[in-house]
Every structure is written in C-alpha cells, then in structure tokens.
C-alpha cells in the first residue's frame, strides 16, 4: 500500500492556553506565509491522482495579482492546477474552470481575508464552491496535484502564491463521506492552540515535506531522550552560555525533534546542533515565563549539543532554568514547519474575519505569583494562582507595561470571584482611558477597545472597597490584517544647498491613462517634488507644493488649480495624481481627493516617453533647477490606470522596508544622486561581479593625491564598458577641508571632453563610499583644487549583474541614523537634547541646580519666571515630541516651554507635543506661583510620522 500523507492527531507539547471568549475553539493550525518574490512553495512527496470521484478543500488568502494555489509541478498539464487571476472579477483557471468569475471583489482588504475553496466531483460533475457558493460546473477529470504555491516551469500569467494557505484536505475515490482522506496537509498540528504564523518563511528554497515539514505526533517517532534534564542541572560553559552535550545519541541524516523547556531573565537563543555548527537550528526566547522551544534537527554526526546563550554575549551571567529536554527520532517527517525563530501566536476567527494574537501579558493566570505584575497602593496578595484585594485597602491596582499600541484594537478579559463590594476598573494608562467597571460578584469582564491613550500600560484598579479576586487576565490584539512590517527603511533627504536629485535613466511610456504617487515630508512650500520630462519641454508634468503648502499639478494645458489642505507640516504625506483616458485628472493627498480638472491638450503627454526626476524641476534634458528640501520615499508610476487597474512600471522606493519599532534613516545631505533606476538598487556591493580592485601585491594600500592641481590617480583598466553599470567603492581616509574629491568618468581616453564628475566632500571622511557609474570606460580620482591632500584606500569596481532591490548606493554621506517609532505619535527623529546640552544648557538661573548623582535638575522656586533653557524653538522642525520624568513636584505646575506650554503637575512620566508655531523654546519654568521640582533628562525628537 502506498504511504498516506494523512497526519494523525497530535498531542499537545505546550501548556494549553485559556479560551478566547469568542465561541467554540477552532482546531488551530500552523501555517506558512508564501512569498511570490522569494518563490516559496511546498512540494508534496508524491503525486495525488484525481480520477473519478474526489473532493478538495482548503482555506487561502488571495494576493492582489492572483496566484497559483495548487498545481502539478512536474508536468505541463494546464488543467492540473488551480489559479486565481488578478483581474477585478477574480476569474479562476484550471480544473476545467477557465474564465469562471469567482465574484470575489478585488479590494485591498480582501488579501487579508481567508476564503474557503471546495472542488468536488460527484456523479460525473465537477463543482467549484467558494465560501459555500457555487461558482461553476464542468465534466472534466484526470488531474494530478503535487505542489502548493507553484506550477510546472514557474509562473505564467500570475505569480507564485503569495499569502497564506491552510487546512488542505484531499479525498480520493469518493468525497469526504465515502472516499479516502489522502492528504491532510494542514501545515499544522491539530491542538487547541492559536494559529502560529511563520514570520521567517521567506526562502529561495522549496519547502519540501521530507526535509522541512514534520509532524510532532509522538506516535510517529521514538524518544531518544525524554525529560533528560532536571531543573537547574545545566552548568555554565561561559558566563553567557550554558550547554548540554551527549555523544552517540543521534544518527547522521535522520530527523529529530528537540524540545527544550526553559525560562530566562534576559533575551536568549536556544539552539541544537551536532558536532559542528553547520547543522545548527535556533530559536529566540524573550525574558519571562516558561517557554517551550521546538527544533527540527537533521544532524551531521552522532553527538547532540543543546545550548542556551545570552544574545548580547556581553559577559553577564545568563540566569535561567531548564527543566525538560526531549529528543524524538522521526519516522515520518511530514507536517509542520518549525525551524523558524520568528513565530508568533495568531488565531484567525473565521466567523468575524479577524486575527487574534496570543496573550500579550506575562503570567496572566498568576501561576508564578506576582511575577511580571506591578502593584500600586496596598491590599493586594498573590496566592493559589489568583490576585486578591482586601476591601479595606485604599485606591490601588495591579498593572503591566508594554502591552498596548495606540490606534490598535484589543480584547481584554479577566475572571472575577469572591467579590461582595465595590468595583474593579480597567484602564489603559494611569486612568487616561477607561474600558469600564465590573461590579458582579462572579463572572468574566470582557472589553473590546481601540487604544487612544498615549500609554502602553494595563491597569486593573479596585475602588469603593472592592474585595474580590482576579484570574486569567488576557489581552489579545485584534488585527484586521496580518501582513508583516519589514525591518528597516532608508529614506533620502534632498536639499537645495547640495542640489541633490534622483532621475530615471530609462524613459517610461505613460500611455493614455496613468498614475504617479510619492510619499514625502517637508516643511517648505513653493518647491517641486518631482517632474516627468523629456527633450520636448512642452510635454512636461510637474508636481509641487504651491504657496501655503498645498498640492498642485503643473503642465502646459492644465487649467490652474490647487488643493486646499496644507501639507508642509514636516509629517509624511502621500500625494497621488491620476490621469484618465479622457484627459481628466485627480489629485489626492493621503487618500482624500483634493481637486480635479481636465487637461486641455492631452496630445502633449499621452503616449509620451518620460524620464522621472525626484527632488527638483526639469523642463527638458538639462540640469534640474529648484531643488527640493524634503525627505522622499516610495515613488511609484502605473500605466493603464492606477494601483487597482494599471500596471506598475516604476517602483523606486529609495529605501529598504521599514518596521513597527525602528528605522534606519540614510540621510543624504551632500550627494548629487543622478541616473538611478530600479535596476541600480543592489542588496550589497558584494552582490556584483568583481571587475577590478586594488592590487595589494604591486601597489600601496592607499593612494595619496598630493597637493598639486593635476594630481590624480587613474584606474587604467579596459574592463569597463559603456553599456554596463558598476559600483565603485572605496574608503576615504583623508580629505583636507577646503576641497572636494572628484570621481571622474571618461569615455575613449583621458583627453576626452566627454567626462562627468561625481563629487565627494569632507563629510565622507572615514567612511566607505559607494558610487554607481555607467556610460564610462575609464575612471579617475582627482582633487577639486590645489594645495590640499586626499587619501583613498581599498578601491573596488564591481559590475551590477542583477536588478536586486536594496539600498540606494549613490549616497556618499549616508549616515545610518537609528530612528524610533512611538505608537501614538509616529516616527521620531534624533534626540536633540544630548547629555552635554542637559548638563550645560543655554541658560540655568540660580533657582536650578544640577544633581550629578541622579542626572536631574533641581528647581527651587522663588515665584519668578526664570527658565532652564535647553533648545531654541526657532532652530528645529515644527512638530517635536517631549518626553521625560519628574520625580518630585509641588506647587502650581511646571511648564515645559517659554509660552503656551502645558503644565506638569504630578510626578511620573509625561509626553507632550511641542509646536514651534506656539512655543518659542524648550525648557522648564514655573507655570504659576512657587514650584519646586526634580526634573529628569527629557528627550526632544522630531515627529516625522511615516505613513
């Protein structure tokens, strides 16, 4: 008999979670995020032949551009596949359903929603159902399925599946009632736990069941080690690592499930490997409660090594307990992807179409007493797995920090028993947002809320003599979508001093209908954001901010018009212009329509070939003028319509993706960025093919350009070709003030007049410079003026061999600055109040004294308005965020600005917005009367707010 792919019921290996309060628990499953860029897919270990009667059922999300869901990846049978295309009506192909309209509308939110698919052949009729609705019928038969997410010879027409596909079942020789369940490929384990999404599933490798997917069912393997480590038995191998090793327990090439139960006081890695580290598998654990880590190990030797180590490796002792190690040899590796360190618990509520997170609280059931909980006031005790409050206590509560993010939706619940008086209130923050009061003697308090308080704190507060117990406190985030925020983003800054700009090297035919969109942030107006231009100045199209900071489209043939909303406030805005076939156009800002019009002479631009320039104004093929003062990212151009109906022909992000907690800003303030298109974005200079490098055997490590006007170093190489693109990288060790370094690009010979200069200034000294060049045959480094010295080292020239998106690399002053994300206010810039400014401010009158032991200023009020002045409000952007701590205060309030500032009247943390249109400097003074205070070092950051 052929081996079945059916997974058996799996015993839970983790501590069960409490119920969700949303009806009966679904049998929850693991699932993988498929990615059409990395082309991840699953290849079944055998073909599934669908003859006669059969039934298939699965759940899947649908990407914007459609996808292959199921297919025969070994043969070119066009019917042995199931495809949803990307058209508005979402037609389906394969299984004989060519061109059937699914009725699923192509809205953006649909890609986050699961749809239920069912294909059943019964009584010689093949029927397709989506969400239990009949889509179409035919009489075809004889299909083969062996792949999830891909088809034979790659994608055709639509891409690999992108998104999620779960709960695939295939019955053969009948339907679910009469046939054999041939495939139960849930990518899961069937236990009462939430869905767990694999955050790290993106891979260029096929996810093959025999190597990547395993079932955790204990009856499919033999235990090699079971509960092999007693609590506390591991001894430190170093001050930051502990390990367990045993020889002769593994067999090379077999598959093992290694389960470690541990808890740590610091962020840590848990990993398993054999004798060498080449087969190492790893997961991360966060500080807090017990964590069960499950690893799939295919060892290269017989030795097992299991290790827990401090992620920072900075020498401190790793404090943790380990009380279980189980190693199971697998006999049938089919099932679950587990070797991914970024898994997160999520439950998909099919009825309401929502993603529900795992419990965001640590120790929500008080299993470990008051661990992870803070107490305000008195009267609380933590015994027997509950938190109890004495009714005679004063107003007091229990809390946890780091739970909420502003504008996110949450379900909050907890159980109450033994109450006879009073109420318990639930808050976000220290009372800023009240979710409600619960006054029943027994029962479950449940709340759904959108967090609006600028706080991440959960507070349960007993009032009016409340004397009950609390247990099973749960906070879960409700997410309408579950698409991951990537990790970091580069954003280019343009300025009118260095006249920086970016333009495409290839032209784009816009057709008769097209759309242009760009995200930008600026505080000025009257500037040009971008231009579409060519040699004919009459065809130009320009996008700018008119006086007053309103959006405006400029073009010959456009009747003057402009938006109404001022968007020069320093925050990020998304501006989009859409041209229709009938020459009407619409201007949008942040998704809202600003104004419309009709182009009087569409022949000027329709079907024209345009170059795109960002950061300036161009009327024809000449140098740009009116350079922009702004940050720009995410430029997109669609032809044939907008993002819903057109084709994306230019995606010039000027970035890497960004994440929800931090961002790396590459602030370009000195470079001229010329001739960059998407093919010039590379993940790393080392991705290119090496053409030439410094020869360390025959030349010095560095080349010093001496103080002579014509002193230069030439790259005498015949390897450069005019039709190719290269990255020139080098270390700029020295460049005297008062001059610049030119990288000169030549054709033909050194005497040719056909040369261009790329300028590098002193801001790049001590940095690795990376410059894109093309249309050149020879290169030369040269100083801009005589009497100075410069030194370059480690020169490399590499050909760009692939158009991989990544970092824009013509930024010669690309300091990567660490920016943070504040959930309520958005992206925040650098802290302008350095420790030096804090200790030596612009003004510190006698009523202020600095306490070096606590790093605080002590204010002893004398009924005067003397101010501790830190930052002049005229020298920084419009909107700033101030945050800090006041440990002591009495009197009528402490103001944080010279005028218009709010008053701080209580001790603790504060967070306020500073608007320089109202406040003229940031500092501290009395609000009124006599004020005494101890003021901790604040932060003062620009609000950038990436959309």
The answer to whether 296 and 214 are in contact (CB under 8 A) is yes
The lowest-confidence range among 197-201, 303-307, 318-322 is 197-201
CA atoms of 909 and 764, how far apart (whole Å)? 39
Whether the pLDDT of residue 32 is over 90: the answer is no
Please, what CATH class does the domain formed by 502-647 belong to?
Answer: mainly beta
Angle at 440 between CA 438 and CA 441, to 5 degrees: 130
- Residue 127 tokens read as 């029927």
Whether the pLDDT of residue 11 is over 60: the answer is no
Per-residue DSSP letter, 907: S
Please, what CATH class does the domain formed by 5-200 belong to?
Answer: mainly beta
Mode of pairing for the β-strands spanning 894-897 and 856-860: unpaired
Query: Residue 462 has what pLDDT?
Result: 92
CA atoms of 820 and 827, how far apart (whole Å)? 6
The string of pLDDT tens digits covering residues 383-398 is 888 999 998 887 789 9
Length of the chain: 947
Please, which residues have CB within 8 angstroms of residue 497's CB and are 6 or more apart in sequence? Answer: none
Which fold, 218-331?
Jelly Rolls (2.60.120)
Whether the pLDDT of residue 100 is over 70: the answer is yes
Mode of pairing for the β-strands spanning 133-138 and 125-130: antiparallel
Please, which residues have CB within 8 angstroms of residue 632's CB and are 6 or more apart in sequence? Answer: 491, 492, 494, 518, 519, 520, 529, 530, 614, 615, 654
CA 806 to chain centre: 15
Q: Which residue has the tokens 């010979």?
A: 749
Please, which residues have CB within 8 angstroms of residue 607's CB and are 6 or more apart in sequence? Answer: 509, 510, 511, 512
Query: Residue 915 has what pLDDT?
Result: 73
Residue range 588-596: mean pLDDT, rounded: 87
- What would be the CATH architecture of the domain defined by 374-479? Sandwich (2.60)
CA atoms of 634 and 652, how far apart (whole Å)? 6
Query: Residue 416 has what pLDDT?
Result: 96
Residue range 30-55: mean pLDDT, rounded: 70
Query: Residue 766 has what pLDDT?
Result: 77
The lowest-confidence range among 222-231, 272-281, 904-913 is 222-231
Per-residue DSSP letter, 786: S
The lowest-confidence range among 57-71, 314-328, 756-770 is 314-328
Which fold, 682-804?
Jelly Rolls (2.60.120)
CA distance readout (Å), 286 to 338, 342, 431, 443: 18, 11, 29, 32
The answer to whether 415 and 392 are in contact (CB under 8 A) is no
pTM beyond cutoff 0.95: no
Per-residue DSSP letter, 686: G
Query: Residue 494 has what pLDDT?
Result: 61
Q: Which residue has the tokens 């069937």?
A: 190
Whether the pLDDT of residue 475 is over 60: the answer is yes
Per-residue DSSP letter, 232: T
Query: Residue 25 has what pLDDT?
Result: 22
Helix (H) or strand (E) holding 836: helix 835-839
Same fold, 218-331 and 502-647: yes
SS3 278: helix
CA 790 to chain centre: 40
Q: Which residue has the tokens 């779960």?
A: 166
Helix (H) or strand (E) holding 211: helix 209-212
DSSP bridge partners of 586 = 578, 596
Q: Where are the domains of the chain?
A: 5-200, 218-331, 374-479, 502-647, 682-804, 832-942
The answer to whether 268 and 310 are in contact (CB under 8 A) is yes
């Amino acid at each position: 008999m052929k081996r079945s792919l059916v997974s058996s019921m799996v015993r839970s290996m983790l501590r069960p979670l409490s119920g969700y309060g949303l009806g009966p628990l679904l049998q929850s499953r693991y699932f993988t995020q498929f990615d059409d860029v990395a082309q991840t897919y699953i290849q079944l270990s055998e073909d599934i032949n669908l003859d006669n009667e059969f039934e298939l059922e699965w759940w899947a999300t649908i990407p914007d551009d459609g996808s292959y869901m199921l297919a025969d990846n070994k043969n070119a049978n066009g019917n042995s596949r199931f495809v949803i295309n990307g058209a508005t009506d979402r037609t389906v192909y394969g299984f004989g359903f060519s061109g059937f309209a699914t009725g699923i509308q192509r809205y953006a939110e649909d890609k986050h929603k699961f749809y239920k698919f069912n294909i059943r052949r019964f009584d010689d009729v093949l029927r397709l159902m989506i969400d239990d609705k009949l889509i179409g019928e035919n009489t075809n038969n004889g299909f083969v399925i062996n792949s999830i997410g891909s088809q034979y010879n790659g994608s055709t027409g639509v891409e690999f599946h992108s998104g999620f596909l779960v709960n695939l079942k295939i019955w053969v020789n009948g339907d679910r009632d009469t046939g054999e369940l041939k495939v139960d490929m849930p990518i899961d384990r069937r236990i009462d736990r939430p869905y767990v999404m694999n955050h790290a599933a993106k891979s260029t490798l096929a996810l093959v069941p025999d190597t990547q997917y395993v079932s955790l069912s204990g009856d499919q393997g033999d235990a090699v080690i079971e509960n092999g480590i007693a609590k506390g038995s591991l001894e430190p191998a170093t001050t930051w690592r502990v390990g367990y090793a045993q020889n002769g327990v593994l067999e090379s090439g077999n598959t093992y499930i290694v389960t470690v139960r541990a808890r740590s006081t610091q962020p840590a890695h848990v990993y398993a490997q054999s004798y060498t580290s080449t087969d190492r598998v790893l997961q991360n654990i966060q500080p807090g409660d017990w964590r069960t880590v499950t690893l799939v190990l295919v060892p290269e030797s017989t030795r097992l090594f299991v290790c827990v180590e401090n992620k920072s490796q900075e020498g401190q002792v790793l404090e943790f307990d380990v009380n279980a190690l189980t190693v199971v040899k697998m006999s049938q590796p089919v099932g679950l992807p587990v070797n991914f360190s970024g898994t997160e618990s999520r439950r998909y509520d099919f009825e309401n179409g929502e993603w529900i997170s795992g419990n965001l609280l640590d120790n929500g059931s008080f299993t470990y007493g008051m661990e992870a909980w803070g107490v305000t006031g008195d009267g609380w005790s933590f015994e027997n797995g509950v938190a109890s409050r004495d009714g005679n206590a004063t107003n007091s509560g229990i809390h946890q920090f780091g739970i909420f993010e502003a504008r996110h939706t949450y379900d909050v619940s907890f159980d109450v028993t033994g109450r006879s008086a009073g109420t318990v209130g639930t808050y976000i923050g220290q009372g800023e947002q009240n979710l409600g009061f619960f006054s029943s003697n027994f029962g479950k308090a449940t709340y759904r809320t959108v967090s609006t308080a600028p706080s991440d704190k959960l507070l349960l507060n007993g009032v009016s003599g409340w004397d009950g117990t609390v247990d099973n406190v749960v906070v879960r985030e409700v997410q309408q979508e579950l698409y991951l925020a990537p990790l970091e983003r580069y954003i280019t800054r343009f300025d009118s001093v260095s006249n920086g700009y970016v333009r495409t090297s290839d032209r784009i035919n816009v057709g008769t209908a097209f759309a242009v969109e760009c995200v930008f942030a600026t505080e000025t107006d009257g500037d040009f954001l971008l231009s579409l231009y060519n040699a004919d100045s009459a065809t130009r199209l320009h996008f700018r901010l008119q006086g007053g900071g309103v959006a405006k489209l400029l073009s010959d043939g456009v009747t003057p018009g402009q938006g109404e909303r001022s968007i020069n406030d320093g925050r990020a805005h998304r501006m989009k212009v859409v041209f229709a076939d009938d020459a009407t156009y619409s201007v949008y800002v942040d998704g809202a329509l600003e104004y419309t019009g009709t182009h009087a002479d569409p022949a000027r631009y329709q079907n024209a070939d345009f170059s795109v320039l960002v950061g300036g104004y161009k009327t024809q093929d000449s140098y740009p003028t009116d350079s922009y003062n702004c940050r720009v990212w995410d430029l997109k151009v669609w032809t044939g319509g907008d993002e819903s109906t057109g084709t994306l022909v230019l995606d010039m992000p000027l970035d890497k993706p960004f994440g929800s907690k931090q961002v790396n800003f590459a602030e370009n303030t000195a470079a001229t960025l010329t001739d960059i298109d998407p093919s010039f974005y590379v993940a790393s200079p080392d991705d290119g093919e090496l053409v030439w490098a410094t020869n360390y055997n025959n030349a010095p490590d560095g080349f010093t350009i001496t103080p002579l006007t014509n002193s230069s170093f030439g790259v005498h190489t015949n390897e450069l070709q005019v039709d190719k693109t290269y990255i020139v990288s080098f270390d700029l060790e020295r460049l005297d003030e008062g001059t610049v370094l030119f990288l000169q690009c030549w054709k033909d010979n050194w005497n040719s007049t056909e040369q261009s200069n790329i300028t590098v200034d002193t801001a790049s000294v001590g940095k690795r410079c990376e410059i894109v060049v093309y249309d050149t045959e020879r290169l030369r480094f040269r100083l801009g003026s005589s009497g100075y010295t410069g030194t370059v080292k480690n020169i490399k020239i590499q050909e760009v061999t692939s158009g991989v998106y990544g970092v824009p690399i013509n930024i010669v002053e690309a300091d990567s600055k660490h920016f943070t994300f504040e959930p309520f206010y958005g992206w925040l810039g650098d802290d302008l109040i350095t420790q030096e400014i804090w200790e030596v401010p612009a003004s510190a009158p006698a009523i202020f004294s600095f306490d070096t032991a606590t790093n605080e200023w002590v204010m002893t009020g004398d009924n005067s308005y003397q101010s501790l002045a830190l930052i002049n409000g005229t020298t920084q952007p419009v909107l700033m965020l101030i945050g800090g701590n006041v440990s002591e205060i009495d009197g009528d309030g402490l103001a944080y600005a010279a005028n218009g500032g709010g008053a701080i009247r209580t001790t603790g943390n504060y967070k306020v917005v500073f608007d320089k249109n109202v406040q003229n400097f940031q500092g501290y003074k009395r609000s009124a009367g006599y004020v005494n205070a101890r003021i901790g070092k604040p932060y003062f950051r620009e609000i950038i707010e990436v959309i």
